[in-house]
Amino acid sequence: MKAHQLSIYNSMSRSKELFQPLHAPNVGLYVCGPTVYGDPHLGHARPAITFDILFRYLTHLGYKVRYVRNITDVGHLEHDADEGEDKIAKKARLEQLEPMEVVQYYLGRYHKAMEALGVLPPSIEPHASGHIIEQIEYIKTILDAGYAYVSDGSVYFDVPKFNADYGYGKLSGRNIDELLATTRELDGQSEKRNPADFALWKKASPEHIMHWPSPWSEGFPGWHLECSTMSEKYLGQQFDIHGGGMDLKFPHHECEIAQSVAHNHAPAVRYWMHNNMITINGTKMGKSLGNFITLEEFFNGSHPLLAQAYSPMTIRFFILQAHYRGTVDFSNEALQAAETALGRLLDSYRRLADLKASDTSTVDVSDLEARAYAALDDDLNTPVLIGVLFDAARIINAVKDHTATATQADIDTLRSLMDTFMVEILGITPQQGADQSSMQPFHDAVDLLLQIRADAKSKKDWATSDLIRDRMAAIGFTVKDTKDGAEWSVSK
Ligand code: ZN
């Protein structure tokens, strides 16, 4: 175990807190996962990448992390409401598929996109539909404790009673009185004693295709319940970190808190972490706004708003250039800048292999590692960490270009820094996706051309060597002769 002062921002206390796990070296991490009824998009990428960094860093520090990320494959009704049609069931009905065919199809696409983005798979990926029995048992306990009531085959959580005993709305800072005053009357709400009450179990209407037997009705669990139930099943009644997007604070996480406190008489979660949202050209992403871009469209550049394709590593790097609690705005300009910066970083990483050690050093690499750890320990400050990596890249380039010298120890420090912080923790790898592996034959071919040119020069065959240089320049290559041979780059 590395002794570290890792601080994380706890959304509940609204302050940075020193991370102290309940049962070190074990850490329980739960993150709200995707609802699988459509293609994965940017909104899926940010929480997955944010908590991938946390997962990777905690693992690096020596913790044994059990990372649970659920799959919402049942009961996800229209947003923020207990009414409406389950979106998976709706897709299944429209496409004449079994609901589980819809789930399987989109889950496969989600996994593929996450792998391309360099997101490590969690330890457990439980499906809501696979935990109906546990959810029914959970509801029974809340009913026995007096914080829920049955109404016409459905079961609702009694928010005012819970609020009187424990307080409701602490995470989101919502005022319950205000909430009760402003909550709209919704269709079918007459079943509820109070508009703020939320469903733990819903009786299925005859056309509802996903339903299960329960003591109250043939029906399905409310959306919020799966996270309380599955986090307890796999991480215990109390666990370390619960993560998710900021948009889930209310009502989803607030309802999770109410459920688990009613169930266990104590809060389940010790640290709440939320990533901020993504906008596209300054506006919120939405199907109706025409700016809803799937990850696949980013990877192949097929959406009309995109000037080009962006590799999964460019998307990952771009997201990590912002702190997870800050907003990220996607635009072609910003993505192109990220692509260029990422290319520079990866170029320097490749050049590490060619560095020649000197007996004396003119570079100072002594504080790089400490600065890298300090950035991550400060609530996973990835933009500051990336700045440290660029400092290392500048040193690598200077040594490669012979404007500075480094000892073997310096070079070893630079390699260890890049391997640990860029590859292992930020998950930025030259092999990932389309970035480098598919480009390798291209690099080899250009090197071969330059080798032929060098051979021509050594035989004083100036016609051939000039022809290669001029033709390459016409295509867009910049070739620079150095005392070790030639270096090239592509000027766009
Ligand atoms: Zn959840």
**492 residues of the chain, pLDDT tens digit each:** 778 999 999 999 999 999 999 999 999 999 999 988 889 999 899 999 999 999 999 999 999 999 999 999 885 554 434 456 677 778 888 888 888 898 999 999 999 999 999 999 999 999 999 999 999 999 999 999 999 999 999 999 999 999 999 999 999 998 877 776 655 555 455 789 998 999 999 999 887 888 999 999 999 999 899 999 999 999 999 999 999 999 999 999 999 999 999 999 999 999 999 999 999 999 988 777 778 899 999 999 999 999 999 999 999 999 999 999 999 999 999 999 999 999 999 999 999 999 999 999 999 999 999 999 999 999 999 999 999 999 999 999 999 999 999 999 999 999 999 999 999 999 999 864 444 445 667 777 888 898 899 899 889 999 998 899 888 888 888 887 776 677 777 764
Q: What is the pTM of this model?
A: 0.86
Ligand 1 centre distance from Cα of residue 82 (Å): 15
Ligand 1 centre distance from Cα of residue 129 (Å): 14
Ligand 1 centre distance from Cα of residue 477 (Å): 50
Ligand 1 centre distance from Cα of residue 32 (Å): 4
Ligand 1 centre distance from Cα of residue 329 (Å): 25
Q: What percent of the chain has pLDDT over 70?
A: 93
Q: What pLDDT shows up at residue 290?
A: 78
Ligand 1 centre distance from Cα of residue 367 (Å): 40
Ligand 1 centre distance from Cα of residue 29 (Å): 12
Ligand 1 centre distance from Cα of residue 173 (Å): 18
Ligand 1 centre distance from Cα of residue 243 (Å): 9
Ligand 1 centre distance from Cα of residue 79 (Å): 13
Q: What pLDDT shows up at residue 158?
A: 96
Ligand 1 centre distance from Cα of residue 38 (Å): 18
Ligand 1 centre distance from Cα of residue 422 (Å): 30
Ligand 1 centre distance from Cα of residue 253 (Å): 7
Ligand 1 centre distance from Cα of residue 177 (Å): 25
Give me the domains of the chain, ranges plus CATH numbers: 10-275 (3.40.50.620), 280-425 (1.20.120.640), 439-490 (no CATH)
Q: What pLDDT shows up at residue 80?
A: 39
Ligand 1 centre distance from Cα of residue 33 (Å): 7
Ligand 1 centre distance from Cα of residue 230 (Å): 9
Ligand 1 centre distance from Cα of residue 199 (Å): 15
Ligand 1 centre distance from Cα of residue 248 (Å): 8
Ligand 1 centre distance from Cα of residue 202 (Å): 18
Ligand 1 centre distance from Cα of residue 31 (Å): 7
Ligand 1 centre distance from Cα of residue 254 (Å): 10
295-348 pLDDT, tens digit per residue, is 999 999 999 999 999 999 999 999 999 999 999 999 999 999 999 999 999 999
Ligand 1 centre distance from Cα of residue 179 (Å): 21
Ligand 1 centre distance from Cα of residue 245 (Å): 10
Q: What is the 3-state secondary structure (H, E, C) of the chain?
A: CCCCCCEEEECCCCEEEECCCCECCEEEEEECCCECCCCCEHHHHHHHHHHHHHHHHHHHCCCEEEEEECEECCCCCCCCCCCCCCHHHHHHHHHCCCHHHHHHHHHHHHHHHHHHCCCCCCCECCEHHHHHHHHHHHHHHHHHHCCEEEECCEEEECHHHHHHHHCCCCCCCCCHHHHHHHCCCCCCHHHCCCCCCEEEEEECCCCCCCCECCCCCCEEECHHHHHHHHHHHHHCCCEEEEEEEHHHHHHHHHHHHHHHHHHHCCCCEEEEEEECCEEECCEECCHHHCCCCEHHHHHHCCCCCCCCCCCHHHHHHHHHCCCCCCCEEECHHHHHHHHHHHHHHHHHHHHHHHCCCCCCCCCCCCCHHHHHHHHHHECCCHHHHHHHHHHHHHHHHHHHCCCCCCCHHHHHHHHHHHHHHHHHHCCCCCCCCCCCHHHHHHHHHHHHHHHHHHHHHHCCCHHHHHHHHHHHHHHCEEEEEECCEEEEEECC
